[in-house]
Amino acid sequence: MNTSRISRLSLLIGIATVSATSNAGLVAQWDLAGGYANSVSNGSALTPFGTQAWLTDTVGTTSRQVLELTPGSGPADDPYLTVINPIGGNGGGVRTNIFTIVMDIKVDPTFGDPSFCSLLQTGSSHAFPGALDTTANQNDGDLFIRGDGGFGISGDYEDEDTNNPFRFDYTQWHRVVRTIDCNFAAPNAEYRTYVDGRLQNQVQDPSRIGFDGRHTLNTTQFWLFADEDHEVQKVRVANVKMYDTALTPVEVAALGSLTRTVSGKVNGGFFNRMEVQFRDAGTTTDVGTPKTVAVDASGNYVVSAPGYGNYDMTVKPAGYLRKTVNTNVTSGDVTANLNVVVGDIVNDNVIDLSDYTKLVINFNKLSTDGDWTIPDADGISPSNADLNNDGVVDLSDYTFIVSAFNALGDN
DSSP letter string, 139-164: S--SEEEETTS-EEBTTB-S-TTTTP
Per-residue pLDDT, 23: 64
pLDDT more than 90, % of the chain: 61
Spatial CA neighbour of 239 closest among 46, 4, 77, 53? 46
Beta-strand pair 261-267/300-304: antiparallel
pLDDT value at 385 more than 90:
yes
Q: Measuring CA to CA, which residue among 237, 229, 236 is closest to residue 113?
A: 229
pLDDT at 1: 42
Q: Where are the alpha helices (DSSP H) in 202-297?
A: 249-255
Q: Which of 374, 283, 371, 384 is nearest to 324 (CA)?
A: 283
CATH number of the domain at 10-255, please? 2.60.120.200
CB 216 within 8 A of CB 182: yes
b/e map of 94-118 (b: 16 or more CB within 10 Å)? ebbbbbbbbbbbbbbeebbbeebbb
Q: What is the pLDDT of residue 198?
A: 79
List pLDDT tens digits, range 62-101. Answer: 899 999 999 999 999 999 999 999 999 999 888 999 999 9
DSSP state of 21: G
Q: What per-residue confidence (pLDDT) applies to 281?
A: 93
Q: Is the pLDDT of residue 8 over 70?
A: no
306: confidence class by pLDDT, cuts 50, 70, 90: confident
The set of residues, in sequence order, having a beta carbon less than 8 Å from that of 331 and lying 6+ positions away, is none
The burial class, CB within 10 Å (0-12 / 13-18 / 19+), for 155 is exposed
* Reported confidence tier of residue 113, pLDDT bands at 50, 70, 90: confident
Cross-strand bridge partners of residue 301 = 264
Q: How many residues does the chain have?
A: 411
Reported as a pLDDT band with limits 50, 70 and 90, residue 18 is very low
Which amino acid makes up residue 209?
Answer: I
Question: Nearest-5° angle of CA 216, CA 220, CA 221?
Answer: 75
Is residue 4 pLDDT above 50, yes or no?
no
Q: Is the pTM of this model over 0.85?
A: no
From residue 269, alpha-carbon distances to 45, 158, 225, 321, 399 in Å are: 51, 23, 39, 11, 15
- Residue 190 or residue 98, greater confidence: 98
Which pLDDT score, from 0 to 100, does residue 11 have?
36
Distance CA 228, CA 399 (A): 56
Comparison of pLDDT for 255 and 232, the residue scoring more: 232
- Using an 8 Å Cβ cutoff, are 328 and 281 in contact? yes
Residues 6+ positions from 323 with CB-CB distance below 8 Å? 314, 315, 316, 338, 339, 340, 341, 409, 410
Asked if residue 386 has pLDDT above 90, the reply is yes
Q: So what's the pLDDT on residue 387?
A: 97
Whole-number average pLDDT of the chain: 87
- The residues of the chain that CATH labels 1.10.1330 are 348-403
Read off the pLDDT of residues 349-371 as tens digits, 9 standing for 90 and up: 999 999 999 999 999 999 999 99
Residue 253 backbone phi and psi in degrees, to 5: -60, -35
φ, ψ at 397 (rounded to 5°):
-70, -40
Kindly state the helix (H) or strand (E) to which residue 80 belongs, with its residue range: strand 80-84
Q: So what's the pLDDT on residue 126?
A: 66
pLDDT band at 54 (very low <50, low <70, confident <90, very high): very high
pLDDT at 235: 97
Highest-scoring range by mean pLDDT, 154-158, 280-284, 327-331, 392-396? 392-396
Q: Tens of pLDDT along 20-50?
A: 344 669 999 999 999 999 998 778 999 999 9
Contact (Cβ atoms closer than 8 angstroms) between residue 63 and residue 54: no
**b (16+ CB within 10 A) / e for 46-73:** beebbebeeeeeebbeeebebbbbbbee
Q: Calculate mean pLDDT across residues 229-258.
A: 91
Q: List CB contacts of 77: < 8 A, sequence separation 6 or more.
A: 50, 51
Residue 258 is predicted with a pLDDT of 84
The CATH class of 261-339 is: mainly beta
Average pLDDT over residues 214-238: 94
Pick the CATH number of 348-403 from 1.10.1330, 1.10.10, 2.30.29, 1.25.40: 1.10.1330
Return the pLDDT at 169. 83
Whole-number Å distance between alpha carbons of 305 and 315: 14
Task: List where CATH 2.60.40.10 sits in the chain.
Answer: 261-339
